[in-house]
Amino acid sequence: MAGTCITGTTKVLAVIGDPVKHSLSPLMHNAALAALGLDYVYLAFPIRGENLGTALAGFAAIDLVGFNITIPHKQAIMPLLQDITPLAQAVGAVNTVWRTDRGWAGTNTDVLGFLAPLRRLDRPWADLPAVVLGNGGAARAVVAGLLELGCPRIQVVGRDGQRLRQFQASWPGEFRGDRLHTHPWDDLPHLLPTAGLLVNTTPLGMAPQVDRTPLGPGDLDRLPPTALVYDLIYTPNPTQLLALAQERGLGAIDGLEMLVQQGAEALRLWTQAEVPVEIMGQTLRNHLGLA
């Protein structure tokens, strides 16, 4: 079957990041491509920030079809692109790039992926404040999703005051001071007791920091008993944060479905095919021993 053997006609897709060796994207994308019988291969390339421009030139030279972007390049890639969709402009981060006649174009499929598991839950989102840990590119997609979901108040927490101010100022005026607020990490004890949803967008808990967690047991004890804890990290599964949440009877959502759904949307964009989402998800569950 096409897609299982690399030949001289095989088209290339990729994911870039720093680090990227932990990425499960090649597993799920190559499984989907094989199932579709498409002559593509999906690879992972570790790219340092100072080499982004060189990498894009090299990708163009080898006629690479498209690529995903992971930490820490989702914002840094934007000035290097010729076209950016309105959604990605609003989010301020790009995670999916493809070739056009004008050059490289980018969008953001993380918002769709983030919302997928939440939309299936019967929760009064319009009554549930959210706390978001971190203020990087992933946090921007999360905030855009929470605004779309209807959360009445979104509290973004970070450790760098200047970056927090920049984060707040970068959103449209109708959100600032109304639904969207930024806070230093020290404010968490006052924010957690009212949070209906807690989202971790930081890399704490991801390899090589698998034994770390952004919040400890005492922090999680401050959450309401009906709160949901959503960790965007998908490996290890569960993270220390989600294990602590489960021990306390809190709802827990890992980043696996977000990874699958954002990847499926990217693959649709690159191939214009009907993507086998279940195969992508099952491939990752098998790999992680979750089947």
**DSSP characters over the chain:** -TTSS--TT-EEEEEEESS-TT--HHHHHHHHHHHHT-SEEEEEEE--GGGHHHHHHHHHHTT--EEEE-TT-TTTTGGG-SEE-HHHHHHT---EEEEETTEEEEE--HHHHHHHHHHTS---GGG--EEEE--SHHHHHHHHHHHHHT-S-EEEEES-HHHHHHHHHTS-TTTBTTTEEEEEGGGHHHHGGG-SEEEE-SSTTSTT-TT--SS-HHHHTTS-TT-EEEE---SSSS-HHHHHHHHTT-EEE-SHHHHHHHHHHHHHHHH-S---HHHHHHHHHHHTT--
Identify residue 67 by its one-letter amino acid code.
Answer: F
Distance CA 99, CA 107 (A): 12
Count Cβ atoms below 10 Å from residue 259 Cβ, excluding itself.
Answer: 24
Tell me the β-bridge partners of 199: 132, 230
State the pLDDT at residue 282: 97
Residues with active-site annotation: 74
State the pLDDT at residue 71: 83
State the pLDDT at residue 1: 40
State the pLDDT at residue 163: 93
State the pLDDT at residue 4: 62
State the pLDDT at residue 252: 97
- Are 75 and 137 in contact by the 8 Å Cβ rule? The answer is yes
- What is the tens place of the pLDDT at every residue in 170-195? 887 766 668 999 999 999 999 999 99
Residues 6+ apart with CB under 8 A from 166: none
> How confident is the prediction along the chain (291 residues), in pLDDT tens digits per residue?
444 689 999 999 999 999 999 899 999 999 999 999 999 999 999 999 999 999 999 999 999 999 999 988 999 999 999 999 999 998 988 999 999 999 999 999 999 999 999 999 999 999 999 999 999 888 999 999 999 999 999 999 999 999 999 999 888 776 666 899 999 999 999 999 999 999 999 999 987 788 899 999 999 999 999 999 999 998 888 999 999 999 999 999 999 999 999 999 999 999 999 999 999 999 999 999 986
State the pLDDT at residue 173: 72
